[in-house]
Amino acid sequence: MKALVAVKRVVDYNVKVRVKADNSGVEIANVKMSVNPFDEIAVEEAVRLKEKGVVTEIVVVSVGVKEAQEQIRGAMALGADRGILVETADTVRPLQVAKILKGIAEAESADLIILGKQAIDDDNNQTGQMLAALMGIGQGTFASEVNVEGGAVKVTREIDGGLQTVELPLPAVITTDLRLNEPRYAKLPNIMAAKKKPLDTKTPADYGVATASNISVVKVTPPAERQAGVKVASVDALIDKLKNEAKVI
Ligand code: AMP
């Protein structure tokens, strides 16, 4: 059984993101970039399925700039077998990524296609759903548990106020939620070994996908600065301020 895992290169979640002076986007020059955290969970899940003997090969895909090779190598250090970089300097949107992933999933005859539920840079939460729709196959989104049994996969999903378990015939798309697993750290020998694993480079055009976008970002603005607080002398003064200034009671 083959697993295809999508990993996006994003600004590391520890970085305090700064908006560019011209409000055209966020600053990514000289900023630490990492694998999208939900995609690390996707890689970990594929590796666990391989360790259980369910999955035999893990292929990792990233769509983006040349430097996304680093994130693919990182996934290989965690246990992925092979990588594909679909290289483009253009900003790609979920529909374009989904079309590219469809091309790869079909060419690879992937049984499980695992994505993060959302990329923490654009917060779209769309790619997995679009991919399943384009391929005409089932989707188990926001997965907190994944069990492959026979020719099907059972996915427990985190939904408002509880859990829902769905069963999907293979091939199927799964998107990971935070509680699915805790990704491991790569060991140094595995980081070295990952450098020798195969990594193919393709282009969006190889999958018939144009990267010209039908969305343009008009403006990015940072959240309003928080006002400094004040110390009040007594509970009465606090109540007065809550009532008459903040008008919250
Ligand atoms: P999004 O729909 O943009 O929130 O992304 C959801 C998931 O789709 C991510 O967690 C990744 O697994 C995958 N994905 C999105 N963009 C890319 C990309 N450029 N390269 C690889 N995977 C991606």
Q: Categorize the per-residue pLDDT at 213 as very low, low, confident or very high, splitting at 50, 70 and 90.
A: confident
178, part of any domain: yes
119, part of any domain: yes
pTM of this prediction exceeds 0.85: yes
**Which residue CA neighbors atom 8 of ligand 1 most closely?**
127
If you measure from the C-alpha of residue 7 to the centroid of ligand 1, how many angstroms do you get, rounded to a whole number?
6
249, part of any domain: no
202, part of any domain: yes
Residue scoring higher pLDDT (214 or 193):
193
Write the CA distances from 97 to 174, 181, 208, 231, integer angstroms.
Answer: 15, 25, 12, 51
Q: What is the mean pLDDT of residues 184-194?
A: 96
If you measure from the C-alpha of residue 43 to the centroid of ligand 1, how many angstroms do you get, rounded to a whole number?
13
Q: Categorize the per-residue pLDDT at 214 as very low, low, confident or very high, splitting at 50, 70 and 90.
A: confident
If you measure from the C-alpha of residue 35 to the centroid of ligand 1, how many angstroms do you get, rounded to a whole number?
10
Q: Categorize the per-residue pLDDT at 216 as very low, low, confident or very high, splitting at 50, 70 and 90.
A: confident
Residue 223 has pLDDT above 90, yes or no: no
- pLDDT value for 224: 87
229, part of any domain: no
If you measure from the C-alpha of residue 235 to the centroid of ligand 1, how many angstroms do you get, rounded to a whole number?
50
**Which residue CA neighbors atom 10 of ligand 1 most closely?**
116
User: For the segment 76-116, what is each residue's pLDDT rounded down to a tens digit?
Assistant: 999 999 999 999 999 999 999 999 999 999 999 999 999 99
Half-sphere exposure of 186 (CA within 13 A, CB side): 21
**Which residue CA neighbors atom 14 of ligand 1 most closely?**
8
- pLDDT value for 9: 98
248, part of any domain: no
Do you find a cis peptide bond into 189, omega within 30 degrees of 0? no
CATH for 157: 3.40.50.620
Residue 116 CA: which ligand 1 atom is closest? 10
Average pLDDT, the chain: 96
Residue 68 CA: which ligand 1 atom is closest? 20
Number of structural domains the chain divides into: 1
22, part of any domain: yes
Tokens for 75, please give them: 């996934």
Owning domain of residue 50: 2-219
Mutate to test the pocket of ligand 1, among 39, 90, 97, 100 (most ligand atoms within 8 A of CB): 97
139, part of any domain: yes
Residue 5 CA: which ligand 1 atom is closest? 12
User: For the segment 127-168, what is each residue's pLDDT rounded down to a tens digit?
Assistant: 999 999 999 999 999 999 999 998 999 999 999 989 999 999
